[in-house]
Amino acid sequence: MSAQTTATAKEAATRDGYGNALIKLGAADSNVVVLDAGVSDSTRTNKFAEKWPERFFNMGISEGDMVCTAAGMAKCGKTAFATSFIAFLLGRSMDQILVSVAYSDSNVKIVGTHCGLGIGEDGPTAQAIGDVAYMRAMPNFIVLCPADAVEAEKAIMEIAKRKGPAYVRLGRGNVKTIYDESYNFEIGKASVVAEGNDAAIMASGIMVQESMAAAELLQKDGISIKVVNMSTIKPLDRKAVIDAAKTGVIITAEDHNIYGGLGSAVAEVIAEEGLKVKFGMIGVKDRFAESDTQKVLFRKYGLDAEAIAATVKKAVSKK
């Protein structure tokens, strides 16, 4: 493991890291404003609202209005965070995000929670599995998917320093803490959380945790796995992909459709650089799931540690 990771068993959701960051930003900068579409308890923006109610705006179930209001505030010199569940935040306001934020290059941070199959019982209409594809294709946007609450907090602090649009993808459930407070998050920089020579798993969000568990399973079979946290999906760390290719195998892992997400971004680099490497993608295979627990859905759709380990083991055997 990297020197900046920790083996602590502490767990927290990445959305909790978001709430913590907003408290720090609110205290440091009076120009920070936060908008939410009626789900502040779940998105953790309620922490900011309790301290600075005059800078918090509950827009209700009106995501398009919220995005345009945030863009207007940004044009008046504010750093605006617009927040809701991803399925509704993007599903109901893509035109407003395109025109008022991306095209206008507004200083708006779109922060979506409850991503992927990880939200479990909320069902397929709320399981956002195409959001990275949407936002990767949007000019001017940075796209981030932190692996734990510590990284989420640090990522939010970094995008606040940087003028312009950003999209941050956060989860619902608790994940094991990977990093400690010494971790230095950099936009566009991948983080190696486990070293290995036989293959590399490049993962984002909750799948970093699953990939680390898969690496431990493979170690029992004498297979050494490098695990890379690709928390910045755009701009992608090309050097990290080139370095990972030296193992001879790259497998991407994401709680997202296999089309248009992290796997597609890594494949683009492999093709553009002409890298000689066996490549595979673990993710949702272009289908809708159903309502069930995260554990059940991850197992059924091949996203858990056991499925990742089996995929990597097969790829390594064919090197």
Interior CA angle at 197 toward 192 and 203, to 5°? 40
Digit-coded pLDDT (tens) for 100-153: 999 999 999 999 999 999 998 989 999 999 999 999 999 999 999 999 999 999
What is the b/e burial string over 107-131, where b = at least 16 CB atoms within 10 angstroms of the residue's CB?
Answer: bbbbbbbbbbbbbbeeeeebbbbbb
- The answer to whether 72 and 48 are in contact (CB under 8 A) is no
Residue 1 has pLDDT above 80, yes or no: no
Phi, psi torsion values for 198, nearest 5 degrees: -85, -25
β-pairing, 232-234 vs 191-194, is: unpaired
Torsion of CA 176, 236, 200, 177, to 10 degrees: -10
Question: Could you tell me which residue, 2 or 222, shows the higher pLDDT?
Answer: 222
- Average pLDDT over every residue of 268-287: 97
pLDDT reported for residue 228:
98
Instruction: Quote the percentage of the chain above a pLDDT of 90.
Output: 95
For residue 10, give both structure tokens: 């502490």
- The answer to whether 147 and 231 are in contact (CB under 8 A) is yes
pLDDT reported for residue 9:
53
Cis peptide before 124 (omega within 30 of 0): no
For the beta carbon of residue 28, count every other beta carbon within 10 angstroms: 11
pTM for the structure as a whole:
0.95
Residue 173 has pLDDT above 80, yes or no: yes
Bridge partners (DSSP) of residue 251 are 201, 280
Closest CA to 262 of 310, 239, 229, 303: 229
- The answer to whether 176 and 148 are in contact (CB under 8 A) is yes
Q: Please give the CATH number for the structural domain made up of 12-176.
A: 3.40.50.970
Q: Which of 11, 50, 63, 273 is catalytic?
A: 63
Topology of domain 191-317, per CATH? Rossmann fold (3.40.50)
Residue 8 has pLDDT above 60, yes or no: no
For residue 243, give both structure tokens: 């370095």
Digit-coded pLDDT (tens) for 38-92: 999 999 999 999 999 999 999 999 999 999 999 999 999 999 999 999 999 999 9
Residue with tokens 């404003």: 33
Phi, psi torsion values for 221, nearest 5 degrees: -95, 10
Digit-coded pLDDT (tens) for 219-267: 999 999 999 999 999 999 999 999 999 999 999 999 999 999 999 999 9
For residue 84, give both structure tokens: 């809701």
Digit-coded pLDDT (tens) for 157-168: 999 999 999 999
Element (H, E) at 84: strand 79-85
Kindly report, as residue ranges, where domains of CATH 3.40.50.970 are found in the chain: 12-176
**Euclidean distance between CA atoms 188 and 199, whole angstroms:** 22
Kindly report, as residue ranges, where domains of CATH 3.40.50.920 are found in the chain: 191-317
Active site residue 210: no
Average of per-residue pLDDT values in the chain: 95
